[in-house]
Amino acid sequence: MELSRRTFSALAGTTALGLALGGSGTGATSAYATHTVPTGPAPGAPSADGREHTVGFDRYSLLVDEKRLVLWSGEMHPFRLPSPSLWRDVLQKMRAHGYNAVSAYVAWNYHSPAPGAYDFTGVRDLDLFLRTAAETGLYVVLRPGPYINAEVDGGGFPGWLTATRGRARTADPAYLKHVDQWLTAVNTIAARHLFTSGKGTVLLYQIENEYDVTRAAGRDYMAHLYRKVRADGIDVPLFHNDAGPNGNWVPGSFDTGGEQGGWLYGFDGYPAPDRTPPDWGDFGAGGAKGGATASPKTPGFLTEFGGGSFDAWGGAGLQGKGYAEARRTRDAAYERRSHFTNLANGITLHNVYMTFGGTSWGWLPAPVVYTSYDYGAAFDEGRNQTPKLAPMHQLGHLLQRVPDFAKLDRAARVKATDERLKVYHLVNPDTDAHVYVVRNDSEEPVSSPLPDAGIEVPVTVPARDARLLTTGLSFGERTFRYATVEPMMFLRAGRQDVAVFTGRHGEMAQIVLECPEEPTPARLDAEVAWVYDRGLLRITVPLGVGGLSRILVDGGGSDRQLLILLADDATALRLWPYDTPSGSVLVYGPSLVREVALEDSTVHLTGDTTGPTGVEVWGPRGIDQVTWNTRVLGTRVSASSSLLSLQLLPGAGPVTLPSLDGGWRRQTENPESAPDFDDSRWKAADKRTSYSTTPVPEGQPVLFADDYGFHYGDVWYRGRFSADVTDVESVSLAYSTGTQGLLMAWLDGEPLGTHRMPVPDKSTVERGSWAAKATLAVPERLREELREKAADGRGARDSHVLSVLVRRMQHDQDGKALDTHKAARGLTAVTFKGASPEVSWRLQGEAAADPVRGPLNNGGLYGEREGWHLPGFGDSDWETVELPRSDRRQGVTWYRTTFRLAVDAGIDASVGLILVDGPERAYRAQIFLNGWNLGQYINDVGPQHTFVLPNGILRTRGVNTLALAVLSDGTTQSGPGQVRLTLLGHAAGGVPVTPVASPGR
């Protein structure tokens, strides 16, 4: 009986696994360049097809079933989109726009509420995400850590890990015990979805992240992770994400148990938009810190390339302008200039971080970011396509459909006539196609011929932009001498070849096609012009003037008809290629095509429209009918052999959102501040030692919230003491929080005041832990009252209660492997001026983790512990109020309302919540929709005012409960002010959305 690949690996051990990973099937000893794989068509879209596959690589590219694959991956995090139905929406959009893979972190803290407890259900259903990716036709790059960074709480470490023995991110056995449990849990799922087994599309797997401890202890740690992952049955190539082109963790840098050929070197990079794109490869300085050159036998792998940027509280990172500024400065031109440069430098594994950023809802965000993780990405937080998709869309389809780009060598130097243009020259050694990246780093457009490349006509490159040009590139049976615009794709539709070129709007495109015999061109659009001379057909057309421009070429030395399509960026974003078992299909017109299926002579299209649009379809011979979202379209055959719809598809109809001006109810809380509040069930602060990196003050108990099992959100402290407080002038409260933490205190129910951590500036935006000492005076009025009590014989030495509320924010990340996630959160020490009483402390934070919404949803506010945020809570006895409010009080006030939406079926509407108030008002609000904590708003800090309400949690056809927990210091009017719904985007189409479970009381 022939042994299966998996059985062979299991019987023969890791050495056999190294052979299997070679991907050659010929006994190669590693995946390095032990044999030659010629340039040829890329593998088709992946699926869970039940067949075994090989995954290897050489110095040029990945090798999937002996075919070269250029990885064009986009990062999205399912944990940042808490509505599993919408995962399909984003993944389908990614695939339609040219991505062939999705990269996804798996956050340990998101799945583990307690040691040994792991939850992969509901919004945490990793199995469902991996199945959806396979059904969509995307490879998966899986990144489960155990440390991920990712601007999430603790870098992905669960809160409970902060209070455990063992140095994190080392080979400390106490730490590795927890790591192995996590990896067992996640790998049990991942192993069911490996592309090698045909059960899924997991193609690559990352261990650790941005780990720079390269001494022996670090090597032992990496070796342990490698062995553990392999032992769990993960047999695809593994890699690590180097924090920049540092040459850390190249093949051979740690013990892999004798296995060779299963490890890739990858690194990340986030070039500033005002700087020249760096050469991280063949055109750079080279060597260990040269990026791809650090590992010359493996393909260049950019595990993360900046598709935007994160932003910090106060907005210092983006000049207070929020993610709109990230998208403006890292626009299509930035992405084009950067990605073309990376391609020139030998990068064939690309991952754009982020492609969809999403939302760091609940207490998920790391201290360095606020709720939105929009990132300025190609798809915004509301799942809308943005114009910066253009280069990703074009380049993604090019790399999938034109195989020459998978195998390129550096070629002879080429110069433009105008030396302001930098030219990279590469050549495919198999096809002799030449590739030129022409980059303009100046502040004005530059036009210049490239005579060294045989391009005698001027090529115009806009300011701070780039072009990807080719000479001698063959599409099917025909060769293009050169073009002044970028190739985007080539496919065969029936008897016809289709070549697509793209450029900037309004420019004059020039294409030169080699024709040994005189061809018969047909102008299908008025703007196209051509001339044939001495074996060359020269075509010129202004781009975008009439949408898509077409020219049909018959003859010229080939029996196959060639259709040339020319598009500007906006038009190219409406071109949708799709491969079916019966042949390739190209669709033009709609704002999105999600799926294409051929059944007999009918092309079934599924997709979205935003405005009225026509539909044009090129496909295999014999098709004569088109449906759109199951509706049959009337069509006719065009001069270019396409099917043209006879009527426009309708756009998305209007969406009406209700006002939130009325129906609010209000209730104050923080009974914990009252001296007679019953705290007998709270945890006693009786520990004297801690695993925290924050020292325990001498003579004081451990007050750190994590040591008592409270890891997320707010925490309350109540300290009882007996002393003559008439002599107490002030109380000093030392505390430690994440960015924008605060503390407020009461003595015997009387407010002492509030202390806030400062708003970060450019020098401190990445600081994850903030420590301060709040010295709060005891009001003379309170001291006088106590003196009067003493004079009346009631005594000033009776028991007193100091109540303290700390908004801890989140745990620091551990980017330097220094256990910084273990820095204390909450109170650290308390002293008095004028007295030295012995204080007995109790504390209370979040209740048991919500079994549906998870551990990161809730903090320790009284209303959260009592379910005031949940739908169905009985608030009929609360005060009816109108907004805006003008309250002044220290503490917490809740506001609740309900609203009904009636979005038409078939409309995908993305809805947001806007909170706006005068900047002079100092307050913050936790936003709960149907019990889900969707973010934190800080009115006088910002910059975020709009919060996405994801469909599924949001009932677009039903009743929704909105609750705001407003925390104010009493120094200003505390709001809330304006609260309203806003339409972030909408389309006719979308995906079916299953309501996310939102249990109430």
Confidence of residue 794 (pLDDT cuts 50, 70, 90): low
CB-based contacts of 387: which residues, under 8 Å, 6+ apart? 331, 332, 569, 570, 573
Task: Give the whole-angstrom CA distance, residue 578 versus residue 604.
Answer: 12
Determine contact, residues 53/69, Cβ cutoff 8 Å: no
Predicted local confidence at residue 661, as pLDDT: 94
CB-based contacts of 654: which residues, under 8 Å, 6+ apart? none
Average pLDDT of the residues in 100-105: 98
Confidence of residue 169 (pLDDT cuts 50, 70, 90): very high
The bridge status of strand 616-618 relative to strand 583-588 is antiparallel
Q: What digits encode the pLDDT tens for the residues 510-538?
A: 999 999 999 999 999 888 999 999 999 99
Q: What digits encode the pLDDT tens for the residues 670-694?
A: 999 999 999 999 999 999 999 999 9
Confidence of residue 795 (pLDDT cuts 50, 70, 90): low
Determine contact, residues 393/32, Cβ cutoff 8 Å: no
> How many Å is the Cα radius of gyration of the chain?
31
CB-based contacts of 140: which residues, under 8 Å, 6+ apart? 101, 102, 103, 104, 130, 133, 134, 193, 200, 201, 202, 203
Say yes or no to pLDDT of 222 above 60.
yes
Task: Give the whole-angstrom CA distance, residue 372 versus residue 935.
Answer: 8
Task: Give the whole-angstrom CA distance, residue 924 versus residue 809.
Answer: 12
Confidence of residue 790 (pLDDT cuts 50, 70, 90): low
Confidence of residue 725 (pLDDT cuts 50, 70, 90): confident
Task: Give the whole-angstrom CA distance, residue 527 versus residue 536.
Answer: 20
Say yes or no to pLDDT of 245 above 90.
yes
Task: Give the whole-angstrom CA distance, residue 323 versus residue 308.
Answer: 8
Helix (H) or strand (E) holding 564: strand 561-568
Determine contact, residues 715/732, Cβ cutoff 8 Å: no
Structure-block tokens of residue 790: 């003493």
Average pLDDT of the residues in 105-111: 98
877 against 27, higher pLDDT: 877
Predicted local confidence at residue 783, as pLDDT: 81
CB atoms within 10 A of CB 11: 9
Confidence of residue 787 (pLDDT cuts 50, 70, 90): confident
Average pLDDT of the residues in 31-53: 86
Task: Give the whole-angstrom CA distance, residue 355 versus residue 344.
Answer: 22
Task: Give the whole-angstrom CA distance, residue 171 versus residue 221.
Answer: 5
The region that residue 16 occupies, defined by phi over 0 for left and psi between -120 and 50 for alpha, beta otherwise, is: alpha
CB atoms within 10 A of CB 412: 8
Q: What digits encode the pLDDT tens for the residues 117-145?
A: 999 999 999 999 999 999 999 999 999 99
Task: Give the whole-angstrom CA distance, residue 321 versus residue 943.
Answer: 7
Task: Give the whole-angstrom CA distance, residue 932 versus residue 852.
Answer: 10
Is the C-alpha dihedral spanning 786, 791, 796, 798 positive or negative? negative
Mean per-residue pLDDT over the chain, rounded: 94
Task: Give the whole-angstrom CA distance, residue 775 versus residue 412.
Answer: 69
Task: Give the whole-angstrom CA distance, residue 45 versus residue 29.
Answer: 28
C-alpha torsion angle, residues 203, 388, 654, 361 (rounded to 10): 60
Average pLDDT of the residues in 638-656: 97
CB-based contacts of 305: which residues, under 8 Å, 6+ apart? 268, 269, 270, 338, 339, 342, 350, 351, 352, 353
Say yes or no to pLDDT of 3 above 80.
no
Which phi and psi angles does 88 have, rounded to 5°? Answer: -60, -40
Average pLDDT of the residues in 15-20: 34
Q: What digits encode the pLDDT tens for the residues 316-358?
A: 999 999 999 999 999 999 999 999 999 999 999 999 999 999 9
Average pLDDT of the residues in 545-566: 95
Task: Give the whole-angstrom CA distance, residue 355 versus residue 375.
Answer: 9
- Percent helix, strand, coil in the chain (nearest 5)? 20, 35, 45
Structure-block tokens of residue 3: 């042994």
Confidence of residue 2 (pLDDT cuts 50, 70, 90): very low
Task: Give the whole-angstrom CA distance, residue 89 versus residue 352.
Answer: 18
Is the C-alpha dihedral spanning 454, 457, 458, 461 positive or negative? negative
Task: Give the whole-angstrom CA distance, residue 521 versus residue 538.
Answer: 11
Prediction pTM value: 0.96
Q: Is 111 helix (H, G, I), strand (E, B) or coil?
A: helix
Predicted local confidence at residue 6, as pLDDT: 32
Q: Is 783 helix (H, G, I), strand (E, B) or coil?
A: helix
Average pLDDT of the residues in 852-867: 98
> Edge to edge, what strands does the sheet with 770-777 contain?
770-777, 730-737, 826-833
Task: Give the whole-angstrom CA distance, residue 205 versus residue 21.
Answer: 13
Average pLDDT of the residues in 494-505: 96
From residue 875, alpha-carbon distances to 15, 136, 870, 889, 975 in Å are: 66, 44, 11, 21, 20
Say yes or no to pLDDT of 404 above 90.
yes
Determine contact, residues 923/893, Cβ cutoff 8 Å: no
Predicted local confidence at residue 887, as pLDDT: 84
Task: Give the whole-angstrom CA distance, residue 796 versus residue 747.
Answer: 13
